[in-house]
Amino acid sequence: MDPRKFLFVMWEGGGNVPPQLGLARKLVERGHRVRVLSEPSIEQEVCAMGCEFAPFKKAPHRLDRSPASDFVRDWEPMTPFGAFGRVRDRVLLGPALAYAIDTLDEITCFSPQVLAVDWLLTGAQVAGECAAIPTAALVHAIYMMPEPGKPAPGFGFRPAQGVVGRLRDRTCNWLFVALFDRGMPQLNKARRQMGLPTVASITDQLGRFDRLLVLVSEHFDFPAERRDPRLRFVGPELEEPGWVEQWEPPWEQSSAQPTVVISFSTTFQDQAPAIRRSIQAVAAIRVHALVTLGPALDPAEFAAPAHVFVVRSAPHDRLFADSSVVVTHAGLGTVTRALAHGVPLVCMPMGRDQNDVAARVVEHGAGVRISRRASAKKIRWAIEQVLHDSRFRMGARRLSDAIQADRRAGRGVHELEEMADAVARRPARSSEKEP
């Protein structure tokens, strides 16, 4: 197809960035022009993908990835609903007008055929609706909106059975949507400013996307009895972050000892205590252990025995290929990459969608879930259980082939190209003849 123009709009929330930039890079490689409207903190990564970069001006933005610059600070609330409220007020709905203004300005400047929006940025979606441009939601998480026959999102539920289970999900679905609907006045302010009618619920706003592209393997998610026809499971984009450094294993490759990887969030979630207990847990086990911290933490802050190596980063695709267990916060990117290599997991969810991700790991028999506050003894027990029970590796391997096939298929790129091609096929308006 002829080259098209795509405008991506995303915020810097950690694991949401690599999969969206992975899609953008593939479009560039296919000859398209891609501009990314986002925060200055990811400008270098955007440009490394061959994309153009445009910074937010009115919308919230960070110049770096330090915890001090984090405007969401979702580790501070004491409950999961409190953390979701932070995201609602500081990303999803609260700054909707600012995101809408920045996005509409960039649409006017760049004139893209398609708008690809991080699905949490409803304000950017409003701008696309105002400009009447085809808009795709990039769902970089499991699809966390209520669906019939599926566990209610946000609680870490596994599928329920019977009348009690259906009642649980019906009640919790209502609570989940009601939490976000508290932010509707801010969203509707943006809609009125853009000359659009108001909407009653967050579900109504999400219903205005032309397509919802879920960057997850459908085999990993729970099935639903009925799905929105605009919803497409296009498979994961497991792009390594631009800040990942090269790394060589310090142990002999012929060593028979298993390798345990400890990898928590790349953004600050107050994960240091859990990491320290995880280091204590592997201290007494005959394994090779590697801890990857990401840019939010400093390796110098962590003491470790001689067989445990603490680094800021390492390429996970290479690392997981030779690993036996991954201990993680259950971020979707880390979990999917581990499962793609058939590696089982010990999940210690920190918040966000991580409890729901961990529930799917457990349901598929690909690992165990323990508390983020678990003791070193409990973490060691979980690691040894996953190491020595072959059923966990079998569960991970069952998902591996499906995830790898989804990665190769490249359906996300094809969906976006199809949207752009549909725009190009629209008949041009002919001017009326003079009488």
Domain count, the chain: 2
- The predicted structure's pLDDT at residue 433: 39
Q: Do 13 and 132 have their domain in common?
A: yes
From the list 312, 263, 237, the residue with the least C-alpha distance to 65 is 312
- The predicted structure's pLDDT at residue 1: 64
Q: Do 215 and 273 have their domain in common?
A: no
Q: Name the pLDDT band for 428 (thresholds 50, 70, 90).
A: low
431 part of a folded domain: no
Q: Do 225 and 372 have their domain in common?
A: no
What's the per-residue H, E or C state across 266-290?
CCCCCCHHHHHHHHHHHHCCCCEEE
430 part of a folded domain: no
248 part of a folded domain: no
CA atoms of 50 and 27, how far apart (whole Å): 10
CATH of the domain at 312: 3.40.50.2000
Q: Do 151 and 39 have their domain in common?
A: yes
Give the mean model confidence (pLDDT) for residues 214-225: 95
Helix (H) or strand (E) holding 320: helix 316-320
From the list 287, 270, 364, 363, the residue with the least C-alpha distance to 325 is 287
For residue 87, the SS3 value is: helix
Q: Provide the angle, in degrees to the nearest 10, between the axes of the packed helices 376-388 and 272-283.
A: 60
286 part of a folded domain: yes
- The predicted structure's pLDDT at residue 78: 79
Q: Do 215 and 168 have their domain in common?
A: yes
Q: Where are the beta strands (DSSP E) in 172-307?
A: 211-214, 231-233, 259-263, 288-292
242 part of a folded domain: no
Q: What percent of the chain has pLDDT over 70?
A: 97
pLDDT tens figures, 318-345: 889 999 999 999 999 999 999 999 999 9
From the list 124, 2, 103, 112, the residue with the least C-alpha distance to 54 is 103
For residue 49, the SS3 value is: coil
Domain limits at 87?
Answer: 5-235+410-425
CA atoms of 197 and 427, how far apart (whole Å): 28
pLDDT tens figures, 379-418: 999 999 999 999 999 999 999 999 999 988 989 999 999 9
For residue 102, the SS3 value is: helix
Beta carbons of 237 and 302 less than 8 angstroms apart: no
- The predicted structure's pLDDT at residue 256: 81
Higher pLDDT, 426 or 391: 391
pLDDT tens figures, 176-198: 999 999 999 999 999 999 999 99
- The predicted structure's pLDDT at residue 236: 95
- The predicted structure's pLDDT at residue 254: 66
174 part of a folded domain: yes
- The predicted structure's pLDDT at residue 244: 86
224 part of a folded domain: yes
From the list 11, 14, 216, 175, the residue with the least C-alpha distance to 95 is 11
Task: Give the pair of three-digit tokens for residue 51.
Answer: 């994309």
Q: Do 350 and 331 have their domain in common?
A: yes
Beta carbons of 355 and 349 less than 8 angstroms apart: yes
Q: Name the pLDDT band for 251 (thresholds 50, 70, 90).
A: confident
Distances from the Cα of 417 to the Cα of 33, 51, 215, 406, angstroms: 12, 16, 16, 17
Q: Do 166 and 106 have their domain in common?
A: yes
Q: Name the pLDDT band for 432 (thresholds 50, 70, 90).
A: very low
Q: Do 328 and 396 have their domain in common?
A: yes
**At 75, phi and psi to the nearest 5?**
-85, -10
Q: Do 187 and 306 have their domain in common?
A: no
DSSP state of 132: T
DSSP 407-429: HHH-HHHHHHHHHHHHHHHSPPP
Task: Give the pair of three-digit tokens for residue 403.
Answer: 């995830």
Q: Is the predicted pLDDT of residue 429 greater than 70, yes or no?
A: no
**At 292, phi and psi to the nearest 5?**
-110, 130
Cα angle for residues 151, 153, 157 (degrees, 5° grid): 50
- The predicted structure's pLDDT at residue 338: 96
Give the mean model confidence (pLDDT) for residues 210-225: 96
Give the mean model confidence (pLDDT) for residues 52-74: 93
CA atoms of 177 and 204, how far apart (whole Å): 11
Task: List beta partners, residue 319.
Answer: none
Asked which of 97-101, 211-215, 250-254, 288-292 is least confident by mean pLDDT, the reply is 250-254
Rg (CA), the chain: 22
Q: Where are the beta strands (DSSP E) in 75-220?
A: 114-118, 135-139, 211-214
pLDDT tens figures, 127-171: 999 999 999 999 999 999 999 999 999 999 999 888 999 999 999
CA atoms of 117 and 135, how far apart (whole Å): 7
CA atoms of 146 and 416, how far apart (whole Å): 25
Q: Do 69 and 82 have their domain in common?
A: yes
DSSP state of 89: I
CA atoms of 433 and 276, how far apart (whole Å): 76
416 part of a folded domain: yes
Q: Do 154 and 279 have their domain in common?
A: no
Asked which of 48-62, 73-87, 186-200 is least confident by mean pLDDT, the reply is 73-87
* Largest separation between any pair of C-alpha atoms in the chain: 91
From the list 311, 312, 356, 296, the residue with the least C-alpha distance to 330 is 356
pTM to 2 decimals? 0.92
- The predicted structure's pLDDT at residue 11: 97
Instruction: Please give the mean pLDDT across all residues of the chain.
Output: 93
Q: Do 394 and 352 have their domain in common?
A: yes
- Going 294 to 297 to 301 to 304, the CA torsion angle's sign is negative
Give the mean model confidence (pLDDT) for residues 39-53: 96
